[in-house]
Amino acid sequence: MPKREEKPQSQDLKYSDIEHIISNLKNNDQFINVPKTLLKKEEWGLLTILSLLLAGIFPIYFVNILLISFFTELGHLFTTHVAEEERKKLVEFEKEFRLGYEKEKEDKWQEASDIYEQLVPKYKQNPKIAGIAEQRILWIKEEKLKKEE
């Protein structure tokens, strides 16, 4: 490295001083600057490099099949998760519905109907589940409560 010259402490810099500072900086940076290669010059993502490697190893149709399989399985995982949430809601509904069914076994039709009526607004976001309770209410009112009158 070149030796630094002692400069007097002054506020005014001359043009020659500025050129000298710049040349010193360039000399110092030449060991730090690594020549740019294609990978350093461009933004290469890991997916791009992986795709290029796969294309070199496997035929392109095989890579397409792998990608399609991957996204299909990803879709299965998502739908399985959604189906699991719906199953949990149905199990919860069944526990509450069973209370009304127990009242039916005891021939307490009005109490059973009241229990089912509480389920309809609770499960209104799931019309199929709420429909089960509605059908049971309708059956109780038509078949059992009218006959008792």
Q: What is the pLDDT of residues 95-132, one digit of tens each?
A: 999 999 999 999 999 999 999 999 999 999 888 888 99
Residues 6+ apart with CB under 8 A from 75: none
Query: Which tens digits make up the pLDDT trace of 36-94?
Result: 555 555 666 777 777 778 777 877 778 778 788 888 888 777 777 667 788 888 889 99
pLDDT tens string 5-50: 555 555 566 777 777 777 776 666 555 555 555 555 566 677 777 7
Q: What is the pTM of this model?
A: 0.45
What pLDDT is attached to residue 106?
92
Q: What is the reported pLDDT for 10?
A: 52
Q: How many CB atoms lie within 10 A of CB 94?
A: 12
Contact 96/57 with Cβ under 8 angstroms? no
- Decide: helix, strand or coil at residue 142: helix
Tokens of 140: 């109780």
Cβ atoms 138, 116 nearer than 8 A: no
Distance, CA of 15 to CA of 117 (rounded, Å) = 92
